[in-house]
Amino acid sequence: MLAGPPAVLCEEAGAGSRPGSGRKALIFERISKTVSDIKTISGSFRQERRLSMLKEPVVSTGRFYCEKPDKLRWELISPEPSGFLVNGVTAKQWKGKEGVPDAFDARQNPVIRLIVDQIFAWSSADLKWIEQRYNVTVLKDEPIALKLVPNDSKERRYVDHIRISFEAGTNYVHNVDIAEKSGDSTRIVFSGMIMNSQLQKGLFD
């Protein structure tokens, strides 16, 4: 479903390309073809956060809106309204239905940074950046499933690996699983994807 990481988060991001070799190159080519004509993406998500200190997962639901190359709005609707947006080098977050967005440094929040990086990277098929940033292993060809292990020493401090699972038949990202070094984890499942719709004005302000 989703890709090109924003400048506010990823100074190393570059234009999409066709890296990899053999089996991996064929997988990357399929993904690149799928997203090449996509300009905007919107849809729903279910986010499940498992923490070692809690018996039950923390579950939240919401909607997201993405406009390539570097705009993202992430809205949590339940259980408590909140969210964040990224527009180029600007990042804002809010709490509550009437919360006023405040500027913040998205690079200082590992979970937000990963969400933004992965959405931009896969929606734009910035495969060169992905391979620079991660050691990528193909787990399944159909539906596509990839395992990403961070190359960056700072990211390896808190992320063990990321699993990206794609929807059968469409090659859109279906879910993202982030396994942390601490034993905590986050799963995000996407649904109701709409491509190239006219997004409401002001979503990224």
Predicted confidence (pLDDT) per residue in 125-166, tens digit: 888 899 999 999 999 999 999 999 999 998 999 999 999 999
Q: From the CB of residue 113, how many other CB atoms can be counted at a distance below 10 Å?
A: 21
DSSP string of 32-71, one letter each residue? HHHHTT--EEEEEEEEEEE-TT-SS-EEEEEEEEEETTTE
**Domain 23-195, CATH number (from 3.40.50.720, 3.40.50.920, 3.40.50.1100, 2.50.20.10):** 2.50.20.10
Q: How far apart are the first and last CA of the chain?
A: 24
Backbone angles phi, psi at 161, to 5 degrees: -165, 165
Kindly report whether the global pTM for this prediction surpasses the value 0.85: no
Q: So what's the pLDDT on residue 105?
A: 85
Q: Say how far apart CA 191 and CA 71 lie, in whole Å.
A: 19
Q: Which two tokens stand for residue 204?
A: 């990224």
Q: So what's the pLDDT on residue 97?
A: 79
Predicted confidence (pLDDT) per residue in 160-196, tens digit: 999 999 998 888 999 999 999 999 999 999 999 999 9
Q: Which two tokens stand for residue 91?
A: 């990042």
Closest CA to 111 of 28, 39, 51: 51
Q: So what's the pLDDT on residue 94?
A: 94
Q: So what's the pLDDT on residue 18?
A: 42
Predicted confidence (pLDDT) per residue in 53-106, tens digit: 999 999 999 999 999 989 999 999 999 999 999 998 889 999 987 778 899 887
